[in-house]
């Protein structure tokens, strides 16, 4: 949204009544093994409030941009966010606004030790020690205290250090592909201090383009001959939701009829990272970088976000590519109500008007489009999603860092 459009959106959310529920899971056990003594859900919720990249945001944006995928990636639970029926909900939402005060350092007092009432001990020497937690936004970041390496941290996996000398200390964090960052922090006696290091990516100087890599012909899918690609015709299509359509002109291109399977991926890449094994199931648990590398090796590429949406809609302007109603979703998509909490072999459901299969559900699909400087857009929803999130035009929350993998993320090539 433009700045003016977003302000109008937030104004609308504040003005209308909202009765919504955000829950840590459905009818299933939930994990209490989060950080800092919290459950996974509560710990992720608190981190989302610290890491969100907007000063004002809605509860739905917070849930779909941060909480849902991160909790699901660390546990067997599926967080939920829905309106409460017959409660007076009228399309509004909770709107959070960050305080202007710095949230950089938070001190958490440690619980006092307990001793048996009958214990008699000599006076303990005064030990001036405290504890430090270092949070980072870069993978496999090295942490140094006063130039002594202490360990590594990654997004969602902070480095916890106990019994450090109190007082000021020089903390330096470095990671491959990022600029190092150094801070002076104060370690308090008998307290936990949390420190967040936001590293910037290294800006690579402009260089002459490298020679093109050798092109390997696309793989054939056994038993059908041909390359199993579908021609998507050129022309204008209506992008976005039905109430906010805008014309987009896209040149003609070919797209894979099916999501890339585990058999195809392993033949090219020599590995299969998927959680749900099956040679005809879509490959998943791949990062954006791995999907991009596969496409290049077979002489193809990832689709742009708008190429993907044009192909998914199949020439329609309805909410779903099969029509306006979600009642027929089970004929076209694997989603949370019929998937059995797993992926399925590609091509088992009905195709869209262009002859493409599984453009809704089964696995989310990486695109080549940047959401911002640190994340890429994926589209289509997966086997874990409700029907509302497998709409052809749905994109809210459909983003992730390019080095992030998850068992609901796959891809297809163009």
Q: Is residue 322 located within the same domain as residue 399?
A: yes
Q: 154: domain CATH number? A: 2.60.40.1120
The span from the CA of 359 to the CA of 352, in Å, is 8
Q: Is residue 248 located within the same domain as residue 319?
A: yes
Q: Is residue 187 located within the same domain as residue 244?
A: no
Q: Is residue 289 located within the same domain as residue 404?
A: yes
Q: 63: domain CATH number? A: 3.30.70
Asked if 381 and 405 touch (Cβ cutoff 8 Å), the reply is no
pLDDT score recorded for residue 44: 81
Q: Is residue 325 located within the same domain as residue 267?
A: yes
> pLDDT tens digits for 386-412?
888 888 888 756 788 999 999 999 999
The structure tokens listed for 258 are 């099916």
Q: Tell me, yes or no, whether 106 lies in a domain.
A: no
Q: 240: domain CATH number? A: 3.90.1580.10
For Cα atoms 63, 42, 197, give the angle at the middle one, nearest 5 degrees.
85
For Cα atoms 267, 270, 271, give the angle at the middle one, nearest 5 degrees.
110
Q: Is residue 242 located within the same domain as residue 303?
A: yes
Q: Is residue 90 located within the same domain as residue 141?
A: no
Specify which of 44-48, 62-66, 94-98, 165-169 reaches the highest per-range mean pLDDT. Answer: 165-169
Tell me the sheet residues that pair with 195. 105, 134
Q: What SS3 state is found at 353?
A: coil
Q: Tell me, yes or no, whether 206 lies in a domain.
A: no
The structure tokens listed for 94 are 């909770």
> pLDDT tens digits for 123-133?
555 557 889 98
Show which of 197, 218, 248 is a domain's final residue: 197
Q: What are phi and psi of 160, to 5 degrees?
A: -100, 125
Q: Tell me, yes or no, whether 209 lies in a domain.
A: no
Q: Is residue 254 located within the same domain as residue 188?
A: no
pLDDT score recorded for residue 223: 32
Q: Is the pLDDT of residue 118 over 70?
A: no
For residue 328, give the DSSP letter.
Answer: G
The structure tokens listed for 28 are 């299933």
Show which of 155, 175, 197 is a domain's final residue: 197
More confident residue, 282 or 220: 282
Lowest mean per-residue pLDDT among 17-31, 116-130, 252-266, 383-397: 116-130
Beta strands in 166-290 (DSSP E): 167-174, 181-187, 191-197, 229-232, 235-239, 246-250, 253-256
What is the span of the domain harbouring residue 15? 3-97
Q: Is residue 21 located within the same domain as residue 170?
A: no
pTM for the predicted model, two decimal places: 0.49
What is the helix (H) or strand (E) element at residue 4, kind and residue range?
helix 3-15
Show which of 197, 219, 242 is a domain's final residue: 197
Q: Tell me, yes or no, whether 108 lies in a domain.
A: no
Count the domains in the chain. 3
Q: Is residue 153 located within the same domain as residue 26?
A: no
Following CA atoms 282, 286, 289, 292 in sequence, which dihedral angle do they give, to the nearest 10 degrees?
-10
Q: Tell me, yes or no, whether 219 lies in a domain.
A: no
Q: Is the pLDDT of residue 165 over 50?
A: yes
Q: Is residue 187 located within the same domain as residue 233?
A: no
The span from the CA of 374 to the CA of 314, in Å, is 30
Asked if 364 and 398 touch (Cβ cutoff 8 Å), the reply is yes
Q: Which of 26, 46, 39, 27 is nearest to 74 (CA)?
A: 39
Q: Tell me, yes or no, whether 218 lies in a domain.
A: no
Specify which of 219-228, 242-251, 342-351 reaches the highest per-range mean pLDDT. Answer: 342-351
Q: What is the mean pLDDT of residues 355-370?
A: 94
Q: Tell me, yes or no, whether 182 lies in a domain.
A: yes
Q: Is residue 169 located within the same domain as residue 237?
A: no
Q: Tell me, yes or no, whether 210 lies in a domain.
A: no
Q: What are phi and psi of 81, to 5 degrees?
A: -145, 115
Percent of the chain past pLDDT 70, that is, above it, reads 82
Q: What is the mean pLDDT of residues 185-203?
A: 87
């Amino acid at each position: 949204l433009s700045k003016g459009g977003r302000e109008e959106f937030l104004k609308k959310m504040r003005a209308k009544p909202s009765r919504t529920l955000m829950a840590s899971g459905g009818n299933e056990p939930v994990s209490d093994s989060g950080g800092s003594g919290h459950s996974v859900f509560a710990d992720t919720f608190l981190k989302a409030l610290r890491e969100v990249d907007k000063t004002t945001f809605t509860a739905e944006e917070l849930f779909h941009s941060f909480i849902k995928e991160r909790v699901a990636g660390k546990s067997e639970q599926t967080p939920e966010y829905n309106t409460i029926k017959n409660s007076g909900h009228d399309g509004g939402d909770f709107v959070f606004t960050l305080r202007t005060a710095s949230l950089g350092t938070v001190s958490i007092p440690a619980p006092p030790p307990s001793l048996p009432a009958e214990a008699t001990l000599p006076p303990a020497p005064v030990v001036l020690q405290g504890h430090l937690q270092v949070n980072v936004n870069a993978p496999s970041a090295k942490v140094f205290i006063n130039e002594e390496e202490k360990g590594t941290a990654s997004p969602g996996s902070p480095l916890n250090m106990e019994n450090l000398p109190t007082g000021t200390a020089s903390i330096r964090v470095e990671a491959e592909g990022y600029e190092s960052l150094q801070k002076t922090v104060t370690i308090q006696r008998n307290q936990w201090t949390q420190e967040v290091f936001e590293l910037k990516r290294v800006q690579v100087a402009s260089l002459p383009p490298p020679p093109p890599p050798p092109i390997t012909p696309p793989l054939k899918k056994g038993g059908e001959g041909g390359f199993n690609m579908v021609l998507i015709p050129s022309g204008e299509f209506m992008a976005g939701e039905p109430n906010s359509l805008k014309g987009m002109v896209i040149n003609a291109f070919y797209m894979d009829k099916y999501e890339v399977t585990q058999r195809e991926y392993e033949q090219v890449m020599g590995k299969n990272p998927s959680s749900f094994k099956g040679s005809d199931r879509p490959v998943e648990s791949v990062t954006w970088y791995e999907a991009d590398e596969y496409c290049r090796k077979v002489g193809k590429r990832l689709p742009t976000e708008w190429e993907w949406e044009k192909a998914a809609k199949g020439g329609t302007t309805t909410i779903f590519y099969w029509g306006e109603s979600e009642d027929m979703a089970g004929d076209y998509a694997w989603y949370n109500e019929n998937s059995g909490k797993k992926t399925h072999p590609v091509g088992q459901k009905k195709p869209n008007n262009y002859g493409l299969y599984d453009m809704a559900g089964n696995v989310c699909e990486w695109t080549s489009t940047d959401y911002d400087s640190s994340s890429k857009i994926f589209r289509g929803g997966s086997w874990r999603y409700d029907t509302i999130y497998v709409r052809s035009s749905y994109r809210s929350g459909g983003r992730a860092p390019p080095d992030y993998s998850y068992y609901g993320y796959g891809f297809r090539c163009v």
